[in-house]
Amino acid sequence: MATTTEPEAQVIDAALADFRQMMASDGYRVLWAPDPAPAPDSATEAGTRLTVTIEAGPEACADCLSPTPVMEAILQKQLAGTPYTVGSVTLPSGH
């Protein structure tokens, strides 16, 4: 599994705070992990791609989930000031 050091984790968590809050309004949790391996011919630099996982909480509103491109656009914007980029967004099963 990929590892991330503690200060790096803080940078990512801080960047994603607003997004987390927004997703929580619809009952979703946001988790992230560094990509284990880059996509073929990835132009991204070492260890900076994140896999973001959206998990449905018990009260999640199934119809309320933002479209994936919208979530990706938000994540890219939120991470813009950090060395990290979004590799992929994984949605709860059924989406």
In angstroms, give the least distance from the CB of 92 to other proteins: 13
6 binds other proteins (CB under 8 A): no
Is 10 a binding residue for other proteins by CB under 8 A? The answer is: no
Please select the residue that binds other proteins; options are 32, 49, 79, 89, rule is CB under 8 A. 49
Query: Please, what is the minimum distance in Å from the beta carbon of residue 81 to other proteins?
Result: 14
38: contact with other proteins by CB under 8 A = yes
Long-range contacts of 78-84 (CB under 8 A, 24+ apart): 78/15, 78/16, 78/18, 78/19, 79/12, 79/15, 79/16, 79/50, 81/15, 82/11, 82/12, 82/15, 83/45, 83/48, 84/11, 84/12, 84/15, 84/48, 84/49, 84/50
Residue 73 in contact with other proteins, rule: CB under 8 A:
yes
Q: Is 65 among the residues that bind other proteins (CB under 8 A)?
A: yes
